[in-house]
């Protein structure tokens, strides 16, 4: 594994480690802050402000922690951790990464490729014999369709035609 700044964790997230030593609740503080931003009417366009606010608490930005450190190096045996690292730090940092990566990755993908497909969800209302399909874009915009078996087969046929570059589909 190639380290850009050496193999010492302190060179990447030293401020977060120092802040955690002073206050073991920093990750909890961020957890309580995230829903405030997610519920803002300007989400996800306020992400940069969330990132700066988190940086004031953690000493590193959310983006920096998730993209530049935890996703690359957190579980690497080659990282050298400080000897005086609190016992609970690695567990809390790992949990923090797991919880926040689903917030960060879609945001960045949505920012750089907003019209790409993020997911497809399905729900059924068996009492009324309806199936709903939701196409979710990277920017969070949804397209909901009520479909029956014929509609699903048509969608499949059209998508196969797209894959095969069939101009008749």
Residue 87 to residue 81: CA distance in whole angstroms: 11
Q: Is 108 in the same domain as 157?
A: no
Q: Is 103 in the same domain as 131?
A: no
Q: Is 45 in the same domain as 106?
A: yes
Encode pLDDT of 86-131 as tens digits. 999 999 999 999 888 877 776 666 666 777 888 888 988 777 778 9
- The pTM (predicted TM-score) of the whole model is 0.64
CB 62 within 8 A of CB 51: yes
Q: Given CA atoms 17, 92, 112, 54 in this order, what sign does their dihedral have? A: negative
More confident residue, 164 or 125: 164
Q: Is 72 in the same domain as 88?
A: yes
Q: 38 forms bridges with which residues in the sheet?
A: none
Residue 155 to residue 144: CA distance in whole angstroms: 14
């Amino acid at each position: 594994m190639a380290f850009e700044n050496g193999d010492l964790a302190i060179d990447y997230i030293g401020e977060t480690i120092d802040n955690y030593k002073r206050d073991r609740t920093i990750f909890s503080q961020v957890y309580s802050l995230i829903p405030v931003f997610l519920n803002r009417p300007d989400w996800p366009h306020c992400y940069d402000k969330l990132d700066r606010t988190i940086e004031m608490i953690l000493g590193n930005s959310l983006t920096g922690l998730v993209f530049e450190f935890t996703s690359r190096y957190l579980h690497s045996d080659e990282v050298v951790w400080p000897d005086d690292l609190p016992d609970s730090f690695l567990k809390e940092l790992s949990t923090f990464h797991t919880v926040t990566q689903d917030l960060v990755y879609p945001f960045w993908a949505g920012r750089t490729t907003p019209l790409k497909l993020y997911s497809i969800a399905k729900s059924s209302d068996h009492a009324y014999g309806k199936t709903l399909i939701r196409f979710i874009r990277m920017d969070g915009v949804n397209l909901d369709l009520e479909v029956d078996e014929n509609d699903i087969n048509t969608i499949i046929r059209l998508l196969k035609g797209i894959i095969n570059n069939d101009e008749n589909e």
